[in-house]
């Protein structure tokens, strides 16, 4: 585990972008870090807006980082939990990320994967934390 932890790329990685037509935010952003030698991520999935972030453990499996988080949705028929699983494939100094949900026939293809580039400052995470207007990433 120690060898895996030393190679863990800490920092912010994002595909979050603002639609020119609607002002909506879309994409995935995560902050990778260590806590008590555990690999961790703070992650936000932006679909229209960046609403809430989740801090979750990260596992290294077959050279890919994996994490999962749960979002609770309320609707007219009551509440429901949606589990999202993220698989990160290192790509130079960035990542490709594909999403899936348990029970889904197949994860999104790598052709449809998010490309998460490194950022110096949070963008989607900052919106989720402060709820304000996005700036230029």
Q: What is the mean pLDDT of the chain?
A: 86
**Does residue 136 form part of some domain?**
no
Supply the pTM of this predicted model: 0.83
**Does residue 134 form part of some domain?**
no
Q: What is the count of structural domains for the chain?
A: 1
- What's the pLDDT tens digit per position in 85-123? 999 999 999 999 999 888 766 656 666 678 999 999 999
Among 41, 17, 14, 40, which Cα is nearest to 28's? 14
**Does residue 40 form part of some domain?**
yes
**Does residue 114 form part of some domain?**
yes
Phi–psi pair at 56, nearest 5 degrees? -140, 155
**Residue 34's domain is classified under what CATH number?**
2.40.128
**Does residue 135 form part of some domain?**
no
- Show the domain range for 64: 2-129
- What's the pLDDT tens digit per position in 56-90? 999 999 989 999 999 887 778 877 888 999 999 99
């Amino acid at each position: 585990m120690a060898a895996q932890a030393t190679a863990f790329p800490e920092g912010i990685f994002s595909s979050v972008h603002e639609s020119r037509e609607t002002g909506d935010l879309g994409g995935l952003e995560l902050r990778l870090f260590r806590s008590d030698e555990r690999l961790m991520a703070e992650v936000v999935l932006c679909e229209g807006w960046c609403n809430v972030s989740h801090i979750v453990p990260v596992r290294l499996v077959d050279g890919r980082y994996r994490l999962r988080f749960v979002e609770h949705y309320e609707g007219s028929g009551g509440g429901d939990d949606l589990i999202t699983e993220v698989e990160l494939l290192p790509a130079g100094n960035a990542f490709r990320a594909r999403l899936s949900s348990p029970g889904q026939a197949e994860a999104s293809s790598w052709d449809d994967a998010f490309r998460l580039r490194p950022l110096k400052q949070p963008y989607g995470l900052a919106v989720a934390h402060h709820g304000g207007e996005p700036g230029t990433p």
